[in-house]
Structure 1
Amino acid sequence: MSDILNLTTELIRRASVTPEDGGCQALLAARLADAGFTIENLRYGEVDNLWATHGSAAPVLVFLGHTDVVPSGPEEQWTSPPFEPTIRDRHLYGRGAADMKSGVAAMCLALEEFVQRHPDHVGTIALLLTSDEEGPSIDGVRRVAEEFRRRGQGIDWCLVGEPSSQQRLGDLIRVGRRGSLHGQLRVRGVQGHVAYPEKALNPIHAAAAALAELVATRWDEGNAEFPPTSLQISNIHAGTGANNVIPGTLDVTFNFRFSTASTAATLREQVEACLKRHDLDFSIDWNLSGEAFLTGEGRLRNATIAAIESICAITPVASTGGGTSDGRFIAPLGAEVVELGPINETIHKIDECVSIEDLERLPGLYLDIAERLLA
């Protein structure tokens, strides 16, 4: 069994459902310490974070990943147990095989090989891992980034090992992400009997026009790298369950996925201005998952493309699509951020898997990128 296959299977065996790490980081830290890395464990609440560095000067290249996984779902629906890595048809199966224990294993091996080849490399090469990427993402990279900001820890380049590829390894890289802004709106009315509406105030009726206006609003036109900002209402709740009671409150959950043409601050202002125009008695709890960011032409993006062309013999598409990743917390530190990892077809699904052929090539991709930047 190859080193990458062996290490990936060892990680999959550890049932590290968010926020549990399951001993994954201890395994990786021991390997990297043996390779000469300085190890720092940053635990916040129930979340484990690993910061492993080799070198102490600029520029700083960070490989970023997570050791936590989503729940397996109904285990009886898996062809083989989700935390017993199994090889079938030249694929490795198990929860986290693609998202993202294969990427984490490949980054660890690439870093070991890099410092063996280049013990006196320029700058700093590092690995940052968290066990809180698939969860609320509060005590993971978000908290670590706050600590880095306090310390003055700079990051020039960040390569995120998230599964970015579509049909072939390396066919797509993420060079940015839309921002994500959540809103929890409460509109207050007056509860009463449906037969006496004059003695009540129905918050559903009161909010309907405002919600329609928000849904119809064109927030921006997007730009060359991003589609226009979108608003989606995901949940509406009101009432006691009785059919003869006018509800006293209306709760609405919604989300913005926004481009660099807007900011969280401007979107909040526009929403609240609309609700005030409609004379609603309301409150909103806002939660910003991350601002939009974009990595333009630069050394990291160019090195990643060159490595893919060399090893995979294809030129990747540069995309800003998809959801969010922990790169959103690193980009505000001034870093160029690019995401490159295995095919994402089966992530979060029953029978999640990664191609062994792709798995075997992944450490070489990461090593090539590191050598182009720091060797």
Structure 2
Amino acid sequence: MPYPLQKNAKNFPSVVSILQYLIRANSVTPNDAGTIAYLAHQLSQLDFNIEVMESNGVKNLIAHRQFGQGSTFAYSGHVDVVPATAEGWLVEPFSGDIIDGVIYGRGAADMKGSVAAMLNATKAFCKSNQAKYGTFFWLITSDEEGEATDGSVLIAEYLRQNGISLDACLVGEPTSHKQVGDTIKNGRRGAISGRFTVHGKSGHVAYPEFALNAAHIAGKLVTQLSNLEWTKDVPGSKTTLQVTGLTVPDIVDNLVPAICEVTFNVRYSHGYKSHDICQRLADIAQNMEGDIKINWERPCESFYTGKKSDNCFLSLIENVISEELGQYPSLSTAGGTSDGRFFASEQTQVIECGVKNETIHQVNEHVAIADLLAIERIYKRILFKYLG
């Protein structure tokens, strides 16, 4: 092999061996592959109270330690990963092998690297002699990369049922661009998919006056969808609608189609909620020819964390990164969805901060050891400032 491959981490910082252990667990959604038990054991050694919830093959970890009166802070993360085959990889995708100071493996960036860094930061914080205040939660699921029906949504419901209100939640999703800490997410656009089924009237193509072409109606519908304006958008958080499919079943070249399906996805600004999107598109369909039915799929609500005048978690993280990097991070709400949506509320400030996201879900997903150490330092500063 033309690369200096190092399979073990004996000569590397402890966070590297933690990450290698996590990567070597083949935890494709919803299987946690032992990682929940591993984290539960590690946190129990730090005097965290441990609870593991199971639902439909998903394991969720809720761990907490109360230091005294003060704010309630949570770290939210996931141990599940998307599938990977060996084709195209420099190393085995579940090996965690190291090449030139870079750890390769599925989940290295999304988001086992963050989990490893937070675990080390938590150890440093809990073992320090500094005075500590408030309550510290770890909220970990093995159902983030899938449908997310048995993961963080159930954790959030558990918190509500037990009267637990989070003041701040740090989500360890990979958010950085060119260097660790240069970009954080203070919200996410919402997402919803849908399917228009256009019903017209079939007929012979030579006599279109006796038919109602569902494909023609669908074409007009697509034009209207593509020309929509979204007036509630704000800079940095724009709503986009993409048509993902236009289908006529059982095509015959001399038959006017009676049915045509239009599939689409909307990624919407935090100025909207899913019911706003549904109502607007339903109004468009109602004013078209023919009979148009809409089915909605996979709704994920938007969320946004702005500045607060008191105990502002966003400002704290901005200042921590400024101290670490010498510059403030960019704020973003772009990208896909995250489990942060389940915890965000008027009470709970949710911020996402993690390693670089350039290789997530890709062949040769990786994280540099230097980046892993950088996010560990950032996490330590956050803990010592927010709970210290």
Task: Compute the TM-score of the two structures, normalised by the length of structure 1.
Answer: 0.93
- Is 2:294 the partner of 1:281? no
TM-aligned CA deviation for residue 95 of structure 1: 0.7
TM-aligned CA deviation for residue 369 of structure 1: 0.2
Give the equivalent residue in structure 2 for 1:317.
Answer: 330
Give the equivalent residue in structure 2 for 1:304.
Answer: 317
TM-aligned CA deviation for residue 280 of structure 1: 3.2
Give the equivalent residue in structure 1 for 2:57.
Answer: 46
Give the equivalent residue in structure 2 for 1:264.
Answer: 274
Name the amino acid aligned to 1:52.
Answer: A
Name the amino acid aligned to 2:56.
Answer: G
After superposition, where does 1:54-93 map in structure 2 within 5 Å? 54-55=65-66, 58-72=70-84, 74-93=85-104
Name the amino acid aligned to 1:367.
Answer: K
Q: Percent identity, please.
A: 38
Give the equivalent residue in structure 1 for 2:249.
Answer: 239
**Alpha-carbon deviations, 1:52-99, whole Å to 9, x = none?**
111186521111111011111x41211111001111111111111111
- Rounded to whole Å, the distance in 2 between the matches of 1:339 and 1:79 is 30
Give the equivalent residue in structure 2 for 1:369.
Answer: 382
Name the amino acid aligned to 1:153.
Answer: I
- Rounded to whole Å, the distance in 2 between the matches of 1:315 and 1:188 is 53
**Alpha-carbon deviations, 1:160-190, whole Å to 9, x = none?**
1111111111111111111112212212234
- Rounded to whole Å, the distance in 1 between the matches of 2:303 and 2:356 is 23
Give the equivalent residue in structure 2 for 1:335.
Answer: 348
Give the equivalent residue in structure 1 for 2:215.
Answer: 204
- Is 2:108 the partner of 1:94? no
TM-aligned CA deviation for residue 339 of structure 1: 0.9
Mean alpha-carbon deviation: is it higher for 163-172 or for 356-365?
356-365
- Rounded to whole Å, the distance in 1 between the matches of 2:267 and 2:292 is 23
Do the aligned partners of residues 205 and 128 (structure 1) sit closer, same or farther apart at CA in structure 2, a change above 3 Å counting? same
* Equivalent residue for 1:251, pick from 247, 261, 275: 261
Mean alpha-carbon deviation: is it higher for 262-271 or for 239-248?
239-248
Say if 1:149 and 1:333, in contact at 8 Å, map to a contact too.
Answer: no
Say if 2:236 and 2:334, in contact at 8 Å, map to a contact too.
Answer: no
Local SS of the residue matching 1:103: helix
**Alpha-carbon deviations, 1:180-213, whole Å to 9, x = none?**
1221221223445444545543211223223311
Local SS of the residue matching 1:75: coil
Name the amino acid aligned to 1:360.
Answer: L
* Equivalent residue for 1:110, pick from 93, 96, 121: 121
- Rounded to whole Å, the distance in 2 between the matches of 1:349 and 1:64 is 23
Do the aligned partners of residues 154 and 57 (structure 1) sit closer, same or farther apart at CA in structure 2, a change above 3 Å counting? farther
- Rounded to whole Å, the distance in 1 between the matches of 2:333 and 2:315 is 16
TM-aligned CA deviation for residue 350 of structure 1: 0.8
- Rounded to whole Å, the distance in 1 between the matches of 2:56 and 2:347 is 27
Give the equivalent residue in structure 1 for 2:5.
Answer: none
Give the equivalent residue in structure 1 for 2:7.
Answer: none
Local SS of the residue matching 1:77: coil
Say if 2:274 and 2:299, in contact at 8 Å, map to a contact too.
Answer: no
* Equivalent residue for 2:226, pick from 204, 209, 215: 215
Mean alpha-carbon deviation: is it higher for 229-238 or for 281-290?
281-290
Name the amino acid aligned to 1:162.
Answer: E
TM-aligned CA deviation for residue 367 of structure 1: 1.6
* Equivalent residue for 2:25, pick from 1, 14, 25: 14
Name structure 2 gaps, 5 residues minimum.
1-9
Give the equivalent residue in structure 2 for 1:161.
Answer: 172
* Equivalent residue for 1:124, pick from 135, 138, 144: 135
Give RMSD over aligned pairs: 2.0
Say if 1:239 and 1:245, in contact at 8 Å, map to a contact too.
Answer: no
TM-aligned CA deviation for residue 333 of structure 1: 6.6
- Rounded to whole Å, the distance in 1 between the matches of 2:129 and 2:231 is 48
Say if 2:32 and 2:80, in contact at 8 Å, map to a contact too.
Answer: yes
- Rounded to whole Å, the distance in 2 between the matches of 1:363 and 1:207 is 51
**Alpha-carbon deviations, 1:119-156, whole Å to 9, x = none?**
86221111111111111122111222233223322111
Say if 1:220 and 1:262, in contact at 8 Å, map to a contact too.
Answer: no
TM-aligned CA deviation for residue 334 of structure 1: 2.9
- Rounded to whole Å, the distance in 2 between the matches of 1:315 and 1:64 is 23
Do the aligned partners of residues 243 and 118 (structure 1) sit closer, same or farther apart at CA in structure 2, a change above 3 Å counting? farther
Aligned length: 373
Do the aligned partners of residues 241 and 208 (structure 1) sit closer, same or farther apart at CA in structure 2, a change above 3 Å counting? closer
- Rounded to whole Å, the distance in 2 between the matches of 1:178 and 1:149 is 24
* Equivalent residue for 1:348, pick from 352, 361, 364: 361
Mean alpha-carbon deviation: is it higher for 113-122 or for 129-138?
113-122
**Alpha-carbon deviations, 1:327-348, whole Å to 9, x = none?**
1111137310111111111111
Local SS of the residue matching 1:256: strand
- Rounded to whole Å, the distance in 2 between the matches of 1:79 and 1:242 is 48
Do the aligned partners of residues 118 and 49 (structure 1) sit closer, same or farther apart at CA in structure 2, a change above 3 Å counting? farther
